[in-house]
Structure 1
Amino acid sequence: MRNPFQNDALGKFILRLTVGTLILLHGVFKMLNPGSLEFISKQLAGFNLPAVLAYGVYVGEVIAPLMIILGIFSRLGGLLVFGNMIFALVLAHRSQLFSLTSNGGWALELQGFYLFSGLAILFLGSGKMAIRPD
């Protein structure tokens, strides 16, 4: 008899919806608050990188999550989220990399969640419940 709780397609779908929706909210916030882009531009300038790279946040936090949610080139979407989080960790959170909160959790739990979830989606793909299953 088949285990009703063993459903890889449903598990991948839930992962895609969770990661995609949660990171998309960050992207929508940045679209509605242009000051966020200025902050990213300043962070990039600190590394002698061109300010135009700040627009990459829209790729990593709007386009990639939509790809993941819909299941259109989800692996590429996962890679873009992973890359976006590498930039976020280096530019804005490097001082917290080895920090814990007062409750003992990693100070970068949310960023770590997005980083490794993007990586998981890269390796897992979209599954069967997608516009373009892989």
Structure 2
Amino acid sequence: MNLPFQNDALGKLTLRLTVGVLILLHGVHKIFNPGSLDYISTLLANVNLPQILAYGVYLGEVIAPLMIILGIFSRIGGLLVFGNTVFAIGLAHRSELFAFTDHGGYALELQAFFLLTGLAVFFLGSGRFAIKPD
């Protein structure tokens, strides 16, 4: 059924802006707080991965969200957000994978949001309201 207010392009734009802005805030925080990168480097060293991979956080939390927000290769941006979140869960949140908060919510709600919305952008693309629509 086509409702008068149904608009797939606006829905995709809303999704892109939501996930893009929210994860970009994490990236901006890391830019202005370089100690965050040291923390990520330590986590990588603890699992015997090269510490240089810590710089990938800028790709996943700055470049990818900008791609998503602007609609420039947003499918690739969504995949980068997905991959960045998989790393974040694996490195910093493994112990919370099956945990709940004191209020009954899932302990990794934010990470699940980024994981699944990054995947949704990958599958849906940017839509009509983008610099490079697909």
Q: TM-score range by the shorter chain?
A: over 0.9
Partner of 2:60: 60
| Structure 1 runs of 4+ with >2 Å offset | none
Query: What amino acid is aligned across from residue 127 of structure 1 in structure 2?
Result: G
Q: Deviations over 1:40-98 (max 9, x none)?
A: 00000011111100000000000000000000000000000000000000000000000
The sequence identity of aligned pairs, in percent, is 72
Does 1:91 pair with 2:86?
Answer: no
Partner of 2:11: 11
Query: What amino acid is aligned across from residue 19 of structure 1 in structure 2?
Result: V
- d(CA) in 2 for partners of 1:23, 1:4: 32
Partner of 2:35: 35
Alpha-carbon distance, 1:4 to partner: 2.4
Residue 28 of structure 2: SS of its match in structure 1?
Answer: helix
Query: TM-score, normalising length from structure 1?
Result: 0.98
Residue 30 of structure 2: SS of its match in structure 1?
Answer: helix
- d(CA) in 2 for partners of 1:8, 1:51: 41
Alpha-carbon distance, 1:2 to partner: 4.8
Partner of 1:103: 103
Residue 15 of structure 1: SS of its match in structure 2?
Answer: helix
Partner of 1:80: 80
- Can you give the 5+ residue segments of structure 2 that lack an aligned partner in the other structure? none
Partner of 2:44: 44
Question: RMSD of the alignment, in Å?
Answer: 1.0
Query: TM-score, normalising length from structure 2?
Result: 0.98
- d(CA) in 2 for partners of 1:30, 1:9: 31
Partner of 2:132: 132
- d(CA) in 2 for partners of 1:2, 1:98: 40
Query: What amino acid is aligned across from residue 67 of structure 1 in structure 2?
Result: M
State the number of aligned residues. Answer: 134
Query: What amino acid is aligned across from residue 81 of structure 2 in structure 1?
Result: V
